[in-house]
Structure 1
Amino acid sequence: MSKPVFSLQNITVTVGDNVRILDNLNFDIFDGDFITVLGTNGAGKSTLFNTIAGNLKIASGVLKHHDKNIANDSAVSRTDYIARVFQDPKMGTAPRMTVAENLLLAEKRGKKRTLHSRGLTKEKLAEYANITKVMGNNLDTRLQTATGNLSGGQRQALSFLMATRVKPELLLLDEHTAALDPKTSEQLMLATNEQVTKNKLTALMITHNLADALKYGNRLIILNAGKIVLDVRDSDKAALDDTQILKYFMA
């Protein structure tokens, strides 16, 4: 197997009176991995994402991006190669800007983030219509609509498209379908899987949905008390069922 794109080595994250949220965690992420992440509340899932994204400082350990230790790099600097979609549809988009303007802004990842209306040419709008149409929720008909006026599902779909407009080295999907109704959630999950697979994105996806965790991705990890208690991929993952997964939540 090739070298990991990201490597977490003996990572410990503490809060309060030295309470360990991540406990000497070791975890490698390889190019093309689509990893579903399970765990009970308080297991360390969000802490894992916040640590990778740079929103939380580690108490000890090494966090490598390729061969560089990025443990002390800022969250802002990591946005050059890490993108994130949050659970709340309101996060990740600018509400007063139109759908098209948000997509144009997303193309500036890793560059100076300025927005010029002249960038929204007829050709660019046609491109955005094609991009948004694949989400299957009529977002393509609302390119000139202020994002704050979209439905929750449309706004979350836009957040996903913005996060992947410039291919990130790592996409963090932080329960990105949890706030949506079941039909909209399923629709976005199908679109997510299609885009991640087609574009060969490297992604981690937190979910509480066992069916989604088993159905999607090539790899699955389960966190418990800040440690990874299960890490399976490919055929081993495909052989799992709900009963086998649930026993890790009983410990």
Structure 2
Amino acid sequence: MTEPVIALNDATVTVANQTKILKGLNLEIFPGDFITVLGTNGAGKSTLFNAISGDLELSSGTISYQGKNITNLPAVKRTAFLARVFQDPKMGTAPRMTVAENLLLAEKRGFHRGLKNRHLTAEKLAYYREITAKMGNNLEDRLETAAGSLSGGQRQALSFLMAIQVKPELLLLDEHTAALDPKTSAQLMDATNHQVVDNQLTALMITHNLADALKYGNRLIVLHAGEIVLDVKNQDKDQLTEEDLLEYFVH
């Protein structure tokens, strides 16, 4: 049987007032899974991502990476196998560095990163032009532009490309299209899907868009009050409708 990339076993997160944000959650994420994650505000979605990334300690339970216990592994060391794209386009890029320089910096994820010896060869620039062209928003024409001068959609596309520049074992997409207008959001979502599928990435994506949750990925989970109340994949997922999912929000 295939070993999960990440496994959470009885994962519990309790805050100071003894409220449990995650309640003994169990989740196995397998290679090639593209999991869309739904849930109301306060359901535990961001807490789940923070626990996986190491930004939040578990109160009890364990997290494993390829069978190895990483429950106490610091967040900075998890970047060697994990990447995350946040909702805010400003969070994933260095604003004063150019698009090309940001991509070069991303190639050092998981290692010591400095600003010295930024070798932007003609070959490297040609490669960056090729990969940015796949995002469909003219980012390839802005390689020498500072990231802070990009549109929100272009900057978020850059954040996404930086996250997959060194292929992560797990990609966390934390509502990465939510801050964009509908047209730009749809464009980035389509590009995201192509990149995840073409590069055989393993990904979790939080979304509040029911249509996107149904359209993309091979698997869907719904969180409620810190627990997984629905976990479906493949054909079972394909048979779901938005009305089916709304039931989990109504009740």
Q: TM-score range by the shorter chain?
A: over 0.9
Aligned letter for 2:13? V
Aligned letter for 1:196? V
Q: CA deviation at 1:118?
A: 4.9
Alignment partner of 1:181 is 2:174: no
- Counterparts of 2:210 and 2:154 in 1: how far apart (Å)? 24
Query: Unaligned 5+ residue runs, structure 2?
Result: none
Aligned letter for 1:159? S
Aligned letter for 1:199? N
Q: Partner residue of 1:135? A: 135
Where 1:128 maps in the other structure, the secondary structure is helix
Q: CA deviation at 1:115?
A: 3.4
Task: Spell out the pairing of 1:157-168 with structure 2 (5 A cutoff).
Answer: 157-168=157-168
Task: Spell out the pairing of 1:43-192 with structure 2 (5 A cutoff).
Answer: 43-192=43-192
- Counterparts of 1:187 and 1:66 in 2: how far apart (Å)? 33
CA contact (8 A) 2:221 2:229 kept: yes
CA contact (8 A) 1:221 1:231 kept: yes
Where 1:185 maps in the other structure, the secondary structure is helix
CA contact (8 A) 1:104 1:115 kept: no
Q: CA deviation at 1:114?
A: 2.5
Q: Partner residue of 1:231? A: 231
CA RMSD in angstroms, aligned pairs only: 0.8
Q: Partner residue of 1:17? A: 17
The count of corresponding residues between Structure 1 and Structure 2 is 251
Report the TM-score, using the length of structure 2 for normalisation: 0.98
- Counterparts of 2:111 and 2:180 in 1: how far apart (Å)? 32
Q: Partner residue of 2:219? A: 219
Query: Unaligned 5+ residue runs, structure 1?
Result: none
CA contact (8 A) 2:13 2:20 kept: yes
Q: Partner residue of 1:29? A: 29
* 4+ residue segments displaced more than 4 Å: none
- Counterparts of 1:147 and 1:118 in 2: how far apart (Å)? 16
Percent identical across equivalent pairs?
69
- Counterparts of 2:242 and 2:127 in 1: how far apart (Å)? 41
Where 2:171 maps in the other structure, the secondary structure is strand
CA contact (8 A) 2:3 2:67 kept: no
- Counterparts of 1:113 and 1:5 in 2: how far apart (Å)? 26
Aligned letter for 1:130? E
CA contact (8 A) 2:45 2:223 kept: yes
